[in-house]
């Protein structure tokens, strides 16, 4: 398989643009899509080189092996600074994680060069779509799924990788209420929890709907065998602050290795915050909420950025978190978004300028 692009990327430009119909002041999250998308096809054992096409429907045979859930994705963001430079945040980590997911789902790896050069070309073409208002960005969704045909329960021989983009604002409207889940599980040892597999999200929807009916926004998953330990939330990793210590669960074969999570751990340490990466017992959190030492809970993820949690439910009881004057969540959100949007020095080399 060729690992580097051999010819210039083919670009089929859209004849029209939808951009003038978009209300950039009320974007919401993932609701409107840019004019173009990047497409690569896997056939006969290799990937076609990336192609930029008008955003639009794709055809799929009814016999495509998507039935068996070979579907993985990534979530990234593109930013534009005051001088109009386009930036990505740790994009190679997303490419690497896509390929980790691909391996687990018996799908083919995408060469880094195809992913990166295809993505950069797409962003340059749709650069007018990158919003600059505070709290907004271009949400980027790379996804790969089985297109090869057959009803035999075995990996497909053909796949499609698409990168589509959506100018977006906040993932959550306001503070988040979470429910600590003890019955259902998101992932199990030996399973696919660490992969960004579509099925991980499908499996969460029903328990999350039940939580939403009870007035919560997200579920905080606990480990599948004992339900005693906090794992992560539906669309983000979680951090707990007890007194002045920030605690997050170690990643594992059940937990997504979040890029925001690992960046926040580094930034927080640099800012002198005591960070502990260790298993967190639900009983420890409940106890800390009761004795007043639980100061904050927040989620961390690309879509969620840093989302403060207003309170959590556990075994029918609700626990509210205090309103702090200078919460870690706000401070760390500013630190990471300033790096992402080129407002602050990037001593880690995380930013990639196009
Ligand atoms: N955990 C889950 C289940 C997620 O869906 C996400 C979002 O991507 C995260 C954690 C956070 O990962 P990242 O910071 O890489 O976006
Ligand atoms: C992301 O944060 O990019 C995600 O993929 C989470 C998704 C459920 C919106």
> Ligand 2: which of 29, 304, 340 to mutate, judged by most atoms within 8 Å of the beta carbon?
304
Nearest-ligand number for the alpha carbon of 303: 2
Mean pLDDT in consecutive groups of 10 residues from the start of the chain, 354 residues: 74 96 94 97 96 96 94 97 95 98 98 96 97 94 97 97 97 90 96 97 97 95 97 96 97 97 97 97 97 97 96 96 95 97 95 95
Q: Please report the atom of ligand 2 found closest to the CA of residue 234.
A: 8
Whether ligand 1 lies within 6 angstroms of the CB of 236 is answered as yes
Whether ligand 1 lies within 6 angstroms of the CB of 75 is answered as yes
What is the per-residue pLDDT for 343? 94
Angle at 164 between CA 147 and CA 187, to 5 degrees: 65
What is the per-residue pLDDT for 1? 42
What is the per-residue pLDDT for 3? 74
Whether ligand 2 lies within 6 angstroms of the CB of 235 is answered as yes
What is the per-residue pLDDT for 83? 92
Question: Which residues make Cβ contacts (< 8 Å) with residue 20, sequence separation at least 6?
Answer: none
Q: Please report the atom of ligand 1 found closest to the CA of residue 261.
A: 14
Whether ligand 1 lies within 6 angstroms of the CB of 313 is answered as no
> Ligand 1: which of 100, 185, 193, 302 to mutate, judged by most atoms within 8 Å of the beta carbon?
302
What is the per-residue pLDDT for 4? 81
What is the per-residue pLDDT for 333? 97
Contact present, 112 and 3 (Cβ < 8 Å): yes
Whether ligand 2 lies within 6 angstroms of the CB of 258 is answered as no
Which whole-number Å values give the CA distances from 80 to 20, 134, 298, in the listed order?
Answer: 19, 11, 26
Look at the alpha carbons of 213, 217, 222, 224 in this order and tell me if their dihedral is positive or negative.
positive
């Amino acid at each position: 398989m060729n690992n580097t692009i051999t010819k210039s990327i083919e670009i089929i430009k859209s004849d029209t643009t939808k951009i003038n119909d978009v209300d950039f002041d009320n974007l919401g999250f993932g609701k409107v899509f840019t004019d173009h998308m990047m497409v690569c096809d896997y056939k006969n054992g290799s990937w076609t080189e990336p192609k930029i096409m008008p955003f639009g429907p794709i055809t799929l045979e009814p016999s495509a092996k998507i039935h068996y859930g070979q579907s993985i994705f990534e979530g990234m963001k593109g930013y534009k600074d005051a001088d109009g430079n386009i930036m990505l945040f740790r994009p190679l980590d997303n490419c690497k994680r896509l390929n980790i997911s691909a391996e687990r789902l018996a799908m083919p790896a995408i060469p880094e060069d195809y992913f990166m050069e295809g993505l950069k070309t797409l962003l340059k073409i749709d650069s007018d779509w990158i919003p600059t208002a505070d709290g907004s960005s271009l949400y980027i969704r790379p996804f790969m799924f089985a297109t090869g045909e057959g009803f035999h329960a075995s990996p497909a021989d053909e796949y499609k990788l698409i990168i589509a983009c959506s100018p977006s604002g906040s993932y959550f409207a306001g503070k988040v209420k979470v429910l600590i889940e003890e019955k259902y599980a998101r992932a199990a040892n030996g399973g696919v929890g660490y992969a960004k597999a579509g099925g991980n999200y499908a499996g969460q929807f029903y328990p999350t709907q039940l939580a939403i009916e009870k007035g919560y926004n997200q579920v905080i998953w606990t480990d599948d065998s004992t339900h005693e330990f906090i794992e992560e939330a539906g669309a983000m990793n979680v951090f707990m602050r007890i007194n002045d210590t920030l605690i997050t669960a170690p990643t594992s074969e059940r937990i997504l290795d979040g890029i925001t999570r690992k960046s926040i751990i580094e930034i927080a340490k640099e800012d002198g915050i005591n960070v502990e990466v260790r298993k967190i017992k639900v009983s420890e959190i409940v106890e800390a909420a009761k004795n007043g030492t639980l100061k904050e809970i927040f989620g961390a993820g690309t879509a969620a950025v840093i989302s403060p949690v207003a309170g959590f439910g556990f075994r029918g009881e609700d626990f509210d978190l205090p309103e702090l004057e200078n919460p870690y969540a706000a401070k760390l959100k500013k630190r990471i978004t300033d790096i992402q949007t080129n407002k602050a020095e990037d001593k880690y080399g995380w930013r990639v300028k196009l």
